[in-house]
Amino acid sequence: MSLTGVPLFVCAVLATAAALAATVLVWNRWGRLRFVLRPFGVLLTEALLVVSVGLVVNRSQQFYPNWAALTQTSNSTGTTYAVHAGGLDGWLRDQGGDVSDQGSAFPWEPAGWTDWHLAGAPLVFTPAGYLKHTGWRYPTLLVLDDGKTGWTTQSETAAARSAGSTVGPAVVVFARITSATSPATLTSVLPAALAHDLRVTDRHWALVAPAAAAGLADKTVAAAPGRYPALALVKPAGRPAAKPTGKKPPATKKPATKKPATKKPATKKPATKKPATKPKPPSKPSHPTKTTATSLPAGIITTTVVETALTTGTTNPPGTAGQNALASALAWACGQTPPPLAASTPAATSLPVYHSHHRAKRPTPTGSGAPSAGAPRPRGGKRVAR
Amino acid sequence: MSPDSLAIELIALAATVVAAVALSVFWAGMRRWLRAVVIAACLLSLTATTLVWVNRQVDSYPTWASLFGSPADAGAGPTQPARTASAATAGQIVRFTVAGQTSGITVPMWVYLPPGYKDSPATRYPVIEALHGYPSSPVQWLKAFDVAAVLNREIGSGRMAPTVVLFPYQTPKPTIDTECANLVNGPQAETFLTVDVPAFVRDHLAVRTDPAAWGLIGYSAGGYCATQLALRHPAQFAAAASLSGYATPGIVIGNNLEHTEYDLVWRLKHLPIPAVSLYLSCAKTDREAMRATQELAKAAHAPLSITLAYIAGGGHNAGTWEAMEAPAFDWLSNSLGRPISAPAASPAPSTIPPPKGTLLAGSPAPTDKPHN
């Protein structure tokens, strides 16, 4: 009989009536026994009355839809899902790992990357502690490099390192985009390949792009707002006339011969860095505020990091300033993402496990982000990484 | 001895039994009017027992002050001596009173401070506003769902980032169901939750103030609240988790708003959709919430992100929400910005005072409930 059905309710009402009638009937009979039967009858009637009312309320509100719900236990602890090792974790370890504990960068050549219309293999930066915390999955910062920024592998690595030390760990991917690079590559193909090769999360990443690539960046964010809810644009230095409307600013591209710059530039950030919600803040009052960001939906967080002429021209060598802006943009983007976390306590449907059907399960010690001694060392698979 | 304590329940039960026995034993010797009085006492004590039991389930009136006094009285709850127990592994529950300048609502708010909060004054934490059902109060989070222990466990195991979690009242009077909306000619609950509470938290706690680090969670009516506030205020909240929430307020807000912009399915179909993330969880047997969840999922599309989590079994009750809360908090933490260090140049670190609220629980020990 259903807990919320009419039959049970009718039974309860009939039982209440019967108990009341019986109580009245025995009230003046049964000799001294009536002093036991009377209170018993009264209390039984009362209890059945409460049950009847309770059944009506439960029927209308469906608090307990069935008998099983009455006896359920709510213990949701004890099970978590394993975080599966990235396909390149073993290869990274074989490379000597993260010796200096500062994070390491390598050119990433996953299968099929040549179809992505990139100017070169993406540079991937794995943060400090990546190999140590095998139970964590990392958010990713995707940086679009259109080749006109003057960024070099060294400066990009240094900027990623700087952001990692000031804000926190994240995987950083520098994609050498071309005019043929499509948003779909950045929203699904590249993330899928990265999820195969590294322990990365599947949403809430952040995107960093030079202002000249704002068009592609906006399209990417608009196509995958769940993956890229935050966008930082880096504006070149000393170009107050450059408009961020997707047009390429002329001649910003001196290859900027620069030193590796291993020192942290985090002490000085461009003063114009500020987050805002929907409209990108005009970085300078004289700028036209119309940007392509007007097409982005509410909830997307954008910022613009501008290299001010004051900080670039006078004191710093040319390359360092550009790197400061990149590091600031990366630091801001990193702050928009969650920290690396262990696999969530599983809900009924949302399993945070990658590729469980592709490879044997490698359960890592669950419920702790602590490094494990017997960490799995999967091989790099087919991925080629130099 | 609060109105939701076991002692009160037993006293009411004893009164019920005593009244029934008195009626039975002294029936013959009683005059007619006295019989009527005792019968009334029987019914009253029975009603009281039932209501106390219900209140113990939903904690609508956690204190006598909230029952007899003004709205969720500020003096609610006995204060316990502050504990200096190590906050290394256990968060703390602190109670504040938020006097809403804009909304005019003044009610208590409980706050969960994550482990290590006191030891790292330069850290700015992400924030989750946790909303309660109706009839209920924030105390149900703290008592029935044992939220402090759940948060300690999730944070301690690395599944969740250290986060400040707020448990505000969403109504000035326990009898008024606001659904976190600004009722026409009524309480301005939405303003309280989106203006006053954030302003208070910015002033008193070391939190991030940007929208990427603010999330919402709620159960039942609070689930509707969480979804509603995230959709209506995408510039303030990045993500919301709804446990057995509905798609409509189910109350009269006024100006027909309950059928338009506060009706979330209507809203998704007729108004611009924001880029926020929603986590909708409910029991498959919870028919109304299930229908609402499916309607929302059907109406939603990009840039809205939706994660669905159905639970087989369960219902619309505390046990189900207790089972849902840990995955929901984990999901939220995966949708919010991380704790960051305040810029060294900023004067902020020194201006954030230590919380002045009443420290109610220093550890998740079962005896450390905020009341009793």
In chain B, where the domains are located: 6-58, 92-359
Alpha-carbon gap, residue B21 to B13, rounded angstroms: 12
pLDDT per residue rounded down to tens, chain B (372 residues) = 788 889 999 999 999 999 999 888 888 888 889 989 999 999 999 999 999 998 888 888 888 877 776 554 544 443 333 343 445 678 899 999 999 899 999 999 999 999 989 888 889 999 999 999 988 889 889 988 889 999 999 999 899 999 999 999 999 888 889 999 999 988 999 999 999 999 999 999 999 999 999 999 999 999 999 999 999 999 999 999 999 999 999 888 888 888 999 999 999 999 999 999 999 998 888 888 999 999 999 998 888 999 888 887 778 888 888 888 889 999 999 999 999 987 654 444 344 444 555 555 443 333 333 443
**A22 SS3 class:** helix
Write the residue in B153, B281, B322 that is nearest to A347 by C-beta: B281
Q: Which domain holds residue A166?
A: 89-342
Chain A nearest CA to B72, separation (Å): 25
The structural domain count of chain A equals 2
Contact, B295 vs B265, CB < 8 A?
A: yes
Query: Residue B160's closest chain A neighbor by CA?
Result: A341
Compute chain B's Rg from CA coordinates: 22
**Is A141 found in the same domain as A48?**
no
Q: CB contact, 8 Å: B314 with chain A?
A: yes
Q: A117 lies in a domain?
A: yes
User: Chains A and B: how many Cβ contacts under 8 Å?
Assistant: 210
**Is A151 found in the same domain as A19?**
no
Contact, B264 vs B227, CB < 8 A?
A: yes
Per-residue pLDDT, A128: 87
**Is A195 found in the same domain as A153?**
yes
Q: A232 lies in a domain?
A: yes
Q: CB contact, 8 Å: B271 with chain A?
A: no
Chain B nearest CA to A368, separation (Å): 5
Chain B nearest CA to A373, separation (Å): 17
Q: How far is CA A183 from the centre of its chain?
A: 19
C-alpha distances in angstroms, B208 versus A57, A269, B125, B187, B213?
43, 19, 5, 28, 6
* Domain end call among A326, A342, A358: A342
Which residues of B are less than 8 Å from A278 in CB distance? 235
**Is A167 found in the same domain as A24?**
no
Contact, A227 vs A200, CB < 8 A?
A: no
**A257 SS3 class:** coil
Alpha-carbon gap, residue B52 to B60, rounded angstroms: 10
Query: What CATH architecture does domain B92-359 belong to?
Result: 3-Layer(aba) Sandwich (3.40)
Chain A nearest CA to B279, separation (Å): 10
Which residues of B are less than 8 Å from A222 in CB distance? 303
Per-residue DSSP letters for A284-298?
A: STTS----GGGGSPT
Give the torsion sign (CA, B176, B179, B180, B185): negative
Q: A168 lies in a domain?
A: yes
**Is A141 found in the same domain as A11?**
no
Write the residue in A65, A222, A341 that is nearest to B159 by C-beta: A341
Mean pLDDT split into 10-residue runs, chain A, 386 residues: 89 94 87 85 93 90 79 56 79 75 85 89 90 90 87 86 88 91 90 92 91 89 90 73 37 33 36 40 36 66 72 43 78 92 66 30 37 34 34
Q: A42 lies in a domain?
A: yes
- Say yes or no for a CB contact (<8 Å) between A38 and B27: yes
- Say yes or no for a CB contact (<8 Å) between A62 and B315: yes
**Is A34 found in the same domain as A102?**
no
**Is A192 found in the same domain as A290?**
yes
Strand spans (E) along A90-220: 104-107, 118-126, 136-137, 140-145, 171-177, 206-210
A21: amino acid identity, one letter: A
Chain A nearest CA to B358, separation (Å): 30
Query: Which positions ≥6 away from B95 have C-beta within 8 Å?
Result: B77, B108, B109, B110, B111, B357, B358, B360, B370
Q: Which two tokens stand for residue A116?
A: 């992505």
| Helices B6-25 and B32-58: angle between axes, nearest 10 degrees | 160
A35, A37, A43: best to mutate for the B interface, most B CBs within 10 A: A43
Per-residue pLDDT, A74: 54
Q: A259 lies in a domain?
A: yes
- Say yes or no for a CB contact (<8 Å) between A68 and B309: no
**Is A215 found in the same domain as A152?**
yes
* ipTM for the complex shown: 0.82
Q: How far is CA A301 from the centre of its chain?
A: 14
**Is A43 found in the same domain as A180?**
no
Q: A295 lies in a domain?
A: yes
Q: Burial of A103 by CB count in 10 Å (0-12 exposed, 13-18 middle, 19+ buried)?
A: buried
- Say yes or no for a CB contact (<8 Å) between A298 and B161: no
**Is A255 found in the same domain as A168?**
yes
Query: Which positions ≥6 away from A224 have C-beta within 8 Å?
Result: A183, A186, A187, A188
Strand spans (E) along chain B: 92-99, 106-113, 123-124, 127-131, 164-168, 214-219, 239-243, 277-283, 305-311, 340-341, 358-361
Q: A231 lies in a domain?
A: yes
Model pLDDT for residues B259-305, shown as the tens digit of each residue: 999 999 999 999 999 999 999 998 888 888 999 999 999 998 888 99
A16, A27, A76: best to mutate for the B interface, most B CBs within 10 A: A76
**Is A109 found in the same domain as A41?**
no
**Is A134 found in the same domain as A17?**
no
